[in-house]
Structures are given as C-alpha cells and as structure tokens.
Structure 1
C-alpha cells in the first residue's frame, strides 16, 4: 500500500451530516488490507461557497460570438455553484446593460471593450469576478442603413436626400438647391408633423439621419426650433451625412432654450430656423489652412471641412459655437492615403490659430475614418505631424511623450529635447490639459489675482477655469509658477473625466478601497481624496511604485504626458 493516494471529493463530504464520517477502503495487492479513515466533516462555509462559484463562473455567448467578438445579447447567470447569487454591473451600460442586453455601437463609435463585474454572494460572504469583452460595431452602412453611422461611399442614386429615423427611411424632408458665395448649397428641410409622428413611435433616444448624396459644396439640415425642442425632450440625435463626412449632434447640445432667450421668448419656436451645416471652406478660408500647415510644418491629409450650427429669426442670427459635451465629426480618409501617416485632427480658426482636437483613426470594413471629437464648431483638418524628442529615446514615457508631442499637446524645451524628469508648474499643467482636451482658448479678464492678462498662460488658465477644471486657492490666487503636486494634478484630471464622460463609466467604489494598496494613502489631502481615487481607478495615473502613491510629490513632465494620453485613451477620444 506504500505510495498509494486516496482522494476524497469535497462534494461527497458536503452531502454528509455534520460531525464525523468513517470511510473504509479495502486494498488488494497480493494481501488484502482494510483501512478505516475517520474524516471530521464540517459544512461548507459561505466564503468557500463564493470562492467555488467564482472559479466556476463563465459567461455564455450566443452562437458565433466570442470574448473578442460580441454581436448578440450575453447570457449572464444570476445563480452560481453552491447556492450563490450573482449580480452584474457593466462599465458601459449603453453597450452592455447589466442584464446582458447588447446594443452594438454605431459605425461612428467603432468596437467597444466593456468590463463586466460579477458580484457573487452567499450569506455574509461576497467576491467579485471581472470579464472583459469586445462588442463589435455595426457594419458599414449602405444607403438607408444604420442611422448615426459614418458616411457611406458616394452613391450613384439620383436622390438628393434621404431621411432616416432609427435607420428606417421616412418621407419627412424636402430638398432644395442654391448658391452662396460661388458655392453650391443643398438644403434638406425637415417636416415637423411627419417627424413628430415618427419620434412618438420610436420613443426616447431616436436618431434622425439626413443622408445627402447631392455633390454640393455646402450641405444643410434644416429644422425649426420646435422640432429641436421635441427632439431634446426625447434625448434624440441628429446626424447630417454626406458622401465622405458625418456630423452627429445630440439635440440637447443645440440648447434651443438659450437660443429662444436671445431671439426673444415671445417668438414661437416653430418660427425659429435651425441649420446644421457641413461645408467645404471658401477659397479664402482654404488659403488660411494651407498657410497654417506650411507654417506649422505639418501635412494636410484630407481637405478641411467647416461645421456650423446657427439659428435665425428675421434679421437675428444666433450661432451655436460651444457645446457642453464632445460632439463627433467623422471624415473618410481618401483611398491611397497611408493611415499610418495620420497623426491627429486640428481645428483652424479664421485668424490662423490652430489647436489639436482629440481624434481617432479607425478601420471599419476595409475603410479608414478619422473621428474628431470637439466641444466647439470650427474648420477641421486631419494632419500628419510626426515628432520625436531625442532625450526620451530610452525613457519609460517615450511613447506617450512622442505621441503627445506629435498631437501638438506638449512642446519641447529646445534643440529637440523634452526634459522629461523636470517638475512641471501649475501654469504648464493647465496649458497642457487644455491642449489635450482640444478646448478653444477663452479670452477675457483674469479670474485670479496673480494671473495677468499679458501672461503667456492667461488664456489657458482662464479656459480651464471656465470649464470648471481649476479653482485656485482660497486667497484668490492660482500660483501659476509653483510646481504642481501629484494630488493637485489628479484632482484636476478627475474633473476632466467628468467633461470627457469617463467619470460616468466608473464602477461604484469607495476611495478607501481604491487607495488601500498604497502605504501612503493617508497622506492624500481630504480635499483631493475622491479625485485621486477616481483617477487611480480609471488607470490614468498610477503610483510611483506598486505601494507608493507619493501624493505630495511633484508631477514631472513625463508623468503629465502619460496622464493626458491615458485620459484621452480611456475616454475613447484618441
């Protein structure tokens, strides 16, 4: 019997009464020997039960789906092994609801990676298990397909425009053509009564798509103020889509109430004309873009496109140039353009000012698209602007520094250097953050007693303050030349997460739980604790080591470059 092994499955023991169980084994190897073993049998604890359930838990996929290719609803079990119960939470409930219902992203958004967290409970014991799955975007649309998607290739149809509500074609628009400053114009005016009837059937969140196949320099979707208000109440979205450009705008971002205040509250909303416009730049504007490109030493990849939203009543015109959330513009990359030679999108103002705007390049069904997200309207271009700094060649932040430099978010210190390990000032941090988010610089009087209108950083600080990202100190100062601490920077980034929508995707988790791995967590100021925890939870900033957060330490230039890159990536903006 020497060397024999006896295995007793715990499932067997779990079926036995509490107390002891005597098991008798008979071995025969020439001689017959009998061995009696007495096992002290105890009932499985709740902690053991949830651990067992965690090990056995899996997600069931519909036929043909996998963890990297989800197209149908998921089967998420609500009971597990050993009598456990399971509840689920999703990091993006728009794409995957807590019950496993899947809503595939539009062509514009591209594939989405979602984290599902299962909370397994029995009695007083709880454990969690996470799964990461990728939901595939809907296929590239042809005419009449998925609303809100990027533009399909030019059609040979003679139709001037087609109206879709949630992807279904409707007879709810009238087309007209004309001229403006030697440019051809196609306008699609929406019929209020017909659209209202369709929206009533579709419910909340409907997508109105205006597909325009006419080859015009300027394409306009025209709604009246009452249509906009009705769409706003239903959280509806309007998309203007041409052969190579799409502009997707939630009705709430038009803010018809603010327009009504400026036009006059006595004016009926249906008498206010709201126009959403995609236009090729005029010859004069195109020249400005070309000059900026030459001066900035970057290359234009696609022709620039101008986006406008304006409301008119009589002689009064109100332009909507600023939004409270990021608005997407999708531009098709021409055939023959190397997608590896696309750096980012830029906004070019009439005065020649150029700024980075967060941009993704996505391949969908064999065609590349640049998806530009911005909180303002302007003229946009897609550019190639490679940049490397010689002193980060062997630095841990090399990729982030060169990426942010190429996107015009950060600048070097001269002679091709970046000086990555130098501490950064509060003014420099505010400037880089504003550039990274693609915010248009605000002008006006200073909000802080120690920031002068003539200071190089004044506009960036005013912009960050206007968007609620910075507050300054209680004495009314900003202290722009002070070095910024890690906890100060993280608190500001946490506010930026609300602007980008990333904050809404975080799972509920206490600051104490998030910061528990760090031995110096207690050093985080109470005023910054929640913001620091949110930034750590989102994966934007990590500790100086696995166990050290260093909240009072100063932020380096390399750390800032990496943090801004992570903020934009985790927010789905680049």
Structure 2
C-alpha cells in the first residue's frame, strides 16, 4: 500500500521558553519511514536524526518561535507524502520585578471648593496594586476603594484644606513602596469669570438668522442670555449656552439688544456688552412714477421710496406692461428701449437693497411709443429738437432666446433657466442662465438653507457646463444661507453662496452700481488639450495612476468686460467626481489638484456610494483642475510598527514622505518645519510663494513656501523675537496648538461641546507644565480625541513628537473631520 497520512501534525499550545514540545504524525502503508523538516524563515530543511513518527524538542528556545515543522512519510508502495505544516509558538519567561515608583504624586494648584482634585502615581513592577491613604490630621489611614493609580476626589470641601495624601504600591516581586506625600489646598471660591470675546451686534436681513457668541474663562460657568425689546433686559428661556441663535428675525425685532450674564459659584456674575440687532427689510415701493414715450422707448421717472428698509438702495427695476420687459438702473429716470411703436404701455418700479426687491409701485400713466415724423413741415426749414429726455442709464442687453432649463430648489423642479449653447476654443459649452425673479420667488417660499441645483439634462452633452447667476442673486442666496450645486451627472460641484463672497467680488470689479450688473459663472469643464497634457505628464512624473477623468472647476465674476476669478474660499467646498465603471473603488488613493505649472498636491478625499454609484468626494479651499489617482505607498521600516497603517495611508495620500525611497524613520522626532509642511499638505492648501515674516526662514529654504502657507492660513505665529526656529524639534504642546487651529479650518472645532480647558487637562498629573498660551489648543485636541496623553496620567507637553505620531494624528484629524 502507498503511504497515507491519517493524522497530520498539530500546532501545539504556546510553550514557555525552556519547556519541551513535540509533534506527531500517524500514517498507513508498508515499510514506512519518516523525515522531519523545519522552516526557520528560509525554507524547509531536513532535521538530522529526526526519523520517527514523533518529533520531540527537549527545550524550546525563543529563537524557535514561529518555526514551522512538517514530516515526509515514505513507504514501499508509492510516492512519499508530506504532512501539513505545524507552527511552534514560544513564550518568554517573564521575570518578576519589585515595585518601583517612577513618577511621584504631584501637588496640584489650589482647588476651588466643590471642584474635583486628581492625584496620580506611575510605577513599574510585577503584579502591581495600589492603596491610597489620607491624613486628615490624625495620621494616614487607608481610603476604602481607592486602589487605582489615579485618585480622583469628585468635589473637595473647605474642611479638606491641607489634607495629605500618599499611595502604597505593592507587587508580587518585592516589598511595598510608599510614595511621597502631597498636600491638597482648597480655596473657598472659583475665580470670577472673565469675558475674553464680547458678543458683537449685527445687521441681518428679515427672515435671516441672527447668531451671537461669547468667550469667557473660568470654571463651572453658566450662561443666561437676555434681551431688551424696549422695556429693559429680561432672561430668554432655555438660552443657557455660550452661543445664541435666533433662526428667523422679523422686522419687529429691529433695535433689540442682547447680552449674556455669566456666573460661577462664589463670585458675582459678569455681564457682557450689549449687542444690537439691526433688521433690514426690502424698501418701500417707489412713488410718483411717470412715463414719457419716444421712438421705440419710454423714459420712466419716479421718486425714491420713503423707506430704504434699513439698508442702502442698490438699484431699481422697471417692468413694462404688456410684455413684462425688465430694465435695471441705479436712479431716476430709467430708459426702457425695445418697445413696440403704437402699443400702449404702463410701467411699475421696484427698489432693491440687500434684502431683496420692494413691492411694485403703482403703475405709471399709459404712454404709446411712436416713430418720428419724416415730413418737412412749414416755417423756417430748421430741424425740430426731440422733447424726449436723453437716457441716463445704458440699455440692458437682451439674452438671446434659447431652450428652457429646469432648476431644482430643495429638489423641487422649476422651469427657471434658459439654456444657451456655444463653442469656445474647440469645446462645446452649455450655459444655463437662471431667471432672477423666478429664483427669488422660489427662495422666498423655501426659506433659509435652500439648495439650488443647476443640472445638465440627461439628453444634453457638453465639454463645459456653466451655471450663470447675477451678483444680486448670489447676494440674496448668501443672506438666506443657500447652497448652489452644478450637477453634470458624473460631476457635482457644491458651493455655499457665502463662499463666493459677492461683496468682495464687486469691489474687485470696481463696485458696479448694481449687483445685477455682475454675472457670476460657476463652471465645471473637461480640461483643454493643453491642460490634459500637463495632467498626464504630472501623473508620469509623480508615479501615480489617473483613475478618473480630470475636471476643471471655476467661479468667475464678470462686469464691463472685466473678469475676476474666485480662486480661494474661506471654508472647504465640496466636489464629487464619479468613479468610472470597471474601476475598483478599493484602488483609489486620493484626489489631487494639478496646477498650471504641473505641481500636484493632495486634497482631502473620501470614496462614497450614492445610489449604487461610487464617487470621490473631494473637499478643497481652492479652484483648479482636479483628478482622482491610485498612488499606493508602503515604507519597509514601518512593517509591524504600531503606526504602519497611518504612515502608509498618509504616504499614499502624498501627505507624508520618506527620508529616502521606502524608508520613513517612524520613531525619529520631527522638526517644526517638517510639521508645518505636513499640515499644509494634509489640509490640501495651495502653497504661497511670498516670503514668510520670520527672520530665520529664507526664500531659498525647502520649507519656505510651506511655512508661508501655514502662516497665511493662521496655523502658525512664530516666536516673540520674530523667528520660527524651523530646525527645532516641535513639542507636543506646540503641535497641539497648530492642530487645534487646523480643527477650526476643517470645521471639527465647531462640533465640540463647550468645555473648560482645565476639565480636559485634569486627569494629567503634569498638566501644570502646559504653557498658558497652549492650554486652550491642547484641551481642544484632547477633547476631539486627536491627541491623547503618553499615559493615562502623563500629558508630556514639552516632549518631542515622532514622525509616526504625526502621521497618526493627521490621519485622525482628517477622519474625524469626515474629510477622508
């Protein structure tokens, strides 16, 4: 019979170093022989002399850990057979060590009555146990139940002032040891609250949201907002947080005053400064409207409204009837051209301000445009001067007629657009021009936070899709905190109206008399052939693979032949790029921006599934050309390291780089310049070219642009002597302050509940070592779970931070901000 294994060797339970181990095999067949083999990570080799059915190892060594064993069984009746592999696991013999205190309990700063107090010890040894003791004046006594390394007293009383505490640490390896004594100092009251940032009054459009906030220092603070509606301040029920929001203000609230009273135990409350609410509304209607006819036109005169609604009137709209032709102007009179001679017209006028348009005025007198007479007439033969007034405003250019286009407001379809097609530089262009009146009416009915979607119909194809609005439309959307989306099916561009910042755009265009005169175009486009070549060259140079077509995003404002691009935003703006069919979503690393010079930078990207289709959701602070890439990176020296996944993920996303090809040096402390550069790349910031205002950062330095960018985005400030000290090792508290500022950029800081810094720092015995200027930022990082202490009781604010730690905290920031 041929040899046949009936029972394969089995991996034994882990054995201690020096203990025996064995493996066995059972087989059938004639004339069986056995040869055991071992694999010590370099392939299986025969074990000399090991030719029995059982392999016995008298004393396993640590060098044998993870060795693999198998046996080859031969016989007279057929080919040899090889058993399954079995793995030997060897555990070290753990020695016992006597208890030793490495960090003694520390005296804490004076604690206010009713506040918590925490003491902590750190020790080494085997089988440690703890027993805290208290001396209230009668000698030290054990504290029942206080058997952890940390002693927490939830609320101290004045009677506990000058109590002493110590801890006895015991273990299985030697005699108990007793810590140093610490003294608890209890003060009778909390420090009085101090207001650091007062609430500020604002002007808000009727129906808009009014927000106030206050920043104050102190422990156990309580807040009570008050309002004065004209008869003195009274408390606002349930408004007991550090911020106040009034969702929809009314005209009757104009002139209301707000303030907040902040209190804590044992102190007199402090009251903030008053904040004035100014509510502006649409103006009243113009009056005394009259019209005078001319050849194909009419001159409409009127008197300005009695009330401007609390906001400066920015222009007027004249509507002709019949025909509903609308002409804009900045003052009376306004000439309406393009009228039909022989047709009787009346005109109404609306006044415009930041809140919108007034009600229409009463109709003007009826006038009929006429063609001038061609006859000579009698008399002196001279020409007769027309009595029609000269227009004082330029005629409005009519938009050529096109197909109607649907606009969605909060998902509800409205035929509120006109579709125009053209060809520019060899690319097909579709422009959807949104009707101001229809959108304004729709926004009025939908209220705050509306989403206006400008979609490309499924039966339309184009290289470039443009959504066109007026500056006044964008301003109205901004006041209602609306969002505009350009949707081209595979590409969705979402931008809050406030990020367009039409007021700044108007200033850059010379402050036109009316925002209606500004055309705001939001564009998504396939790159030109020249740009596409740059993208492809960058992919080749950067060793990454393009997995989705590149897309160009742009926002521009145009007036009087001048065009200004909105290239930078104050908050992240979202873009969605569809992942093509057949592309494995698991083989997508990140989105990138490709600049005109070929420079490539990471932008925070996460892959999402929308109705069964995968999209790359990209968030960025700038416009440019975007694509999605596959760029896997693995550093050989982080294999098995605790931060392996974070380091390789951030390397693949082009956020961190190695010290050379394939090497990261994870446990090396990082410098301030390196940290600034990583933060700039992590947030996807476009690097600035100007020089940073630090005496020790030169334009030629490799980190100059990164430091300047971090400074421009308020991530860093440098030292009081005007230096940045780029080569210094960054400390944990310095890194946490920068990270806390990044949390504001990503929006994560706003999601944290209000909490005093002292409360977050309380568990750490060395918290007092944290610099005063750093405490708020350190607390934000701890509360947001971006950073943690080195141990449960050690914060180590002055310690350096390693490259691996930086990769982990940057990944954590982006994940918790829901950017990756």
TM-score band (shorter)? 0.7 to 0.9
Unaligned runs of 5+ in 2: 1-153, 155-237, 248-402
Scaled by the length of structure 2, what TM-score is found?
Answer: 0.51
Query: Are 2:422 and 1:178 aligned?
Result: yes
| 2:577 partner SS | strand
Query: Are 2:439 and 1:203 aligned?
Result: no
d(CA) in 2 for partners of 1:457, 1:324: 24
CA contact (8 A) 1:178 1:185 kept: yes
Task: Show the 5 A alignment for 1:519-530.
Answer: 519-530=765-776
Cα separation, partners in 2 of 1:461 and 1:160, compared to 1, 3 Å: farther
**Equivalent residue for 2:438?**
194
d(CA) in 2 for partners of 1:445, 1:527: 26
| 2:772 partner SS | coil
**Equivalent residue for 2:670?**
424
CA contact (8 A) 1:247 1:278 kept: yes
**Equivalent residue for 1:504?**
750
Q: How far 1:418 sits from its partner (Å)?
A: 0.3
| Range with bigger deviation, 416-425 or 444-453 | 444-453
The structure richer in strand per residue is: 2
| 1:303 partner SS | strand
**Equivalent residue for 1:367?**
613
- Which of these residues, 708, 715, 722, is aligned with residue 476 of structure 1? 722
- Which of these residues, 530, 538, 547, is aligned with residue 284 of structure 1? 530
Task: Show the 5 A alignment for 1:105-504.
Answer: 161-213=405-457, 214-504=460-750
Q: Deviations over 1:149-176 (max 9, x none)?
A: xxxxxxxxxx984200111001211111
d(CA) in 2 for partners of 1:191, 1:308: 21
Q: How far 1:356 sits from its partner (Å)?
A: 0.2
Q: Deviations over 1:382-428 (max 9, x none)?
A: 00000001111111111110000000000001141100110100000
Q: How far 1:314 sits from its partner (Å)?
A: 1.9
Cα separation, partners in 2 of 1:337 and 1:403, compared to 1, 3 Å: same
Runs of 4+ in 1 over 3 A off after TM superposition: 87-90
Q: How far 1:254 sits from its partner (Å)?
A: 0.5
Unaligned runs of 5+ in 1: 1-46, 48-86, 98-158
Cα separation, partners in 2 of 1:164 and 1:290, compared to 1, 3 Å: same
d(CA) in 1 for partners of 2:715, 2:590: 24
Q: How far 1:366 sits from its partner (Å)?
A: 2.2
Q: How far 1:520 sits from its partner (Å)?
A: 1.2
d(CA) in 2 for partners of 1:224, 1:571: 33
Q: How far 1:440 sits from its partner (Å)?
A: 0.2
d(CA) in 2 for partners of 1:318, 1:563: 38
CA contact (8 A) 1:160 1:212 kept: no
Q: Deviations over 1:468-492 (max 9, x none)?
A: 1100001111011111000000000
Q: How far 1:515 sits from its partner (Å)?
A: 1.6
d(CA) in 1 for partners of 2:626, 2:511: 34
**Equivalent residue for 1:108?**
none
CA contact (8 A) 1:323 1:376 kept: yes
Q: How far 1:203 sits from its partner (Å)?
A: 1.1
d(CA) in 2 for partners of 1:364, 1:380: 20
Q: Deviations over 1:497-543 (max 9, x none)?
A: 11110000001111111122211111111100010010011011111
Q: How far 1:89 sits from its partner (Å)?
A: 12
CA contact (8 A) 2:692 2:711 kept: no
Q: How far 1:330 sits from its partner (Å)?
A: 0.4
Aligned length: 424
d(CA) in 2 for partners of 1:160, 1:360: 36
**Equivalent residue for 1:116?**
none
Cα separation, partners in 2 of 1:189 and 1:415, compared to 1, 3 Å: closer
Task: Show the 5 A alignment for 1:12-51.
Answer: none
Q: How far 1:445 sits from its partner (Å)?
A: 2.5
| 2:678 partner SS | helix
Name which one, 1 or 2, has greater alpha-carbon Rg: 2
**Equivalent residue for 1:41?**
none
